[in-house]
Structure 1
């Protein structure tokens, strides 16, 4: 059974609408209570061509680097950058129980290749430590590599998310203008 091409986008839009934080839910959040008057400012809840990409980039930063309370942290991050709060909060869902393990594995792989850990030490110390279940030494060695990898992934994803959302916004507005002109009977060349 095939589905209509637009159905995935409509389902994604419906999911986003269901999970998008409301001003009321942010107001009730006890972590945001000290800054609620700033987070609930109307200009931070408007969807504009500048605030949405900023929200996406900040949501990526909070979602990847912050292990807990990502949504409130993204909302607080949105304040000084005048980013869209709902977009920043929704983008933190990029990390979830399904995406976090592959993300951390990729972060370790990127970090260890940048630090060249296996070249400085004979053998494969991380694999050997994991096989012997010596978790403390393994974590002490894997920690810096994973942290560096997470930082690299965060930078790349934030810049990419910013660029893609800005491009998406531009294409969406262009399509709206084209439809408006087509409805008036004026063709756009």
Structure 2
């Protein structure tokens, strides 16, 4: 079979922060002992699906760049999720997907009766608005609809990711067992 790592491990090795890098972070100093614990870095049938849930939820709901990976790592501690997978999955929101998530969140918020001001969002986008104008828009009546929509989308995608990872894990283990018996 060989020692060739799979695509997930190659991706994590290339993009995810190492345990040592997270442990050196001044922001994570209060939880350094948890980050250095091996249980948060092992790939187990329980830690991997939890990490998929955490990474997907935080990646969609917490749309503040730079805080997503830290938020995912912190959420892995009480939920006992795999930190590298959760941190890597926060990249589900990136410059290409963020507008889709924001517009989708406003649509979901509007569906549930929140004010969304989608027309103002388009105006800001078209006018190359400053960061201050974007933040001002966030503090209008649109903010509750956006936050609720991001929460719903993040929760739904996180649940789907959790169940897909459970099934994927089961299939992978079944394949490994079959290979052992052959």
Q: TM tier, shorter chain?
A: 0.7 to 0.9
In structure 2, distance between residues paired with 1:99 and 1:65? 13
Aligned with residue 28 of structure 1, among 24, 27, 36: 24
Aligned match of 1:172: 172
For normalisation by structure 2, the TM-score amounts to: 0.80
Aligned to 2:74, the other structure's residue is in SS state helix
Contact kept in structure 1, 2:12 and 2:85, CA below 8 Å: no
User: Aligned partners of 1:18 and 1:126: how far apart in 2?
Assistant: 37
Q: For 1:18, which of 9, 14, 32 is the aligned residue?
A: 14
Give structure 2 stretches of 5+ with no counterpart. Answer: 128-132
- Structure 1 gaps of 5+ residues are 1-8, 119-124, 183-189
- Structure label with greater radius of gyration: 1
Provide the residue aligned with 2:35 in structure 1.
Answer: 39
Which residue does the alignment assign to 1:153?
153
Normalising by structure 1, report the TM-score. 0.78
Q: Secondary structure at the match of 2:141?
A: helix
Q: Secondary structure at the match of 1:96?
A: coil
Distance 1:99 1:126, change over 3 A: closer
Q: In 1, distance between residues paired with 2:77 and 2:103?
A: 32
Say if 2:106 is the partner of 1:108. yes
Q: In 2, distance between residues paired with 1:29 and 1:54?
A: 23
- Alignment match, 2:47: 51
- Counterpart in the other structure of 1:121: none
The correspondence of residues 123-142 of structure 1 with structure 2, limited to 5 A, is 126-127=118-119, 140-142=140-142
Shift of 1:61: 2.1
| Count of residue correspondences | 168
How far apart, in 2, do the equivalents of 1:129 and 1:75 lie? 31
- Does structure 2 conserve the Cα–Cα contact (< 8 Å) formed by 1:129 and 1:138? no
* Alignment-derived partner of residue 80 in structure 2: 82
Alignment RMSD:
2.7
Q: Is the 8 A contact 1:59 1:89 kept in 2?
A: yes
Counterpart-to-counterpart distance in 2, 1:155 and 1:129: 23
Distance in structure 2 (CA, Å) of the matches to 1:116 and 1:164: 31
Aligned counterparts of 1:92 and 1:128: Cα–Cα separation in 2: 27
Among 90, 94, 104, the alignment partner of 1:92 is 90
Closer, same or farther: CA 139–127 of 1 in aligned 2, 3 Å: farther
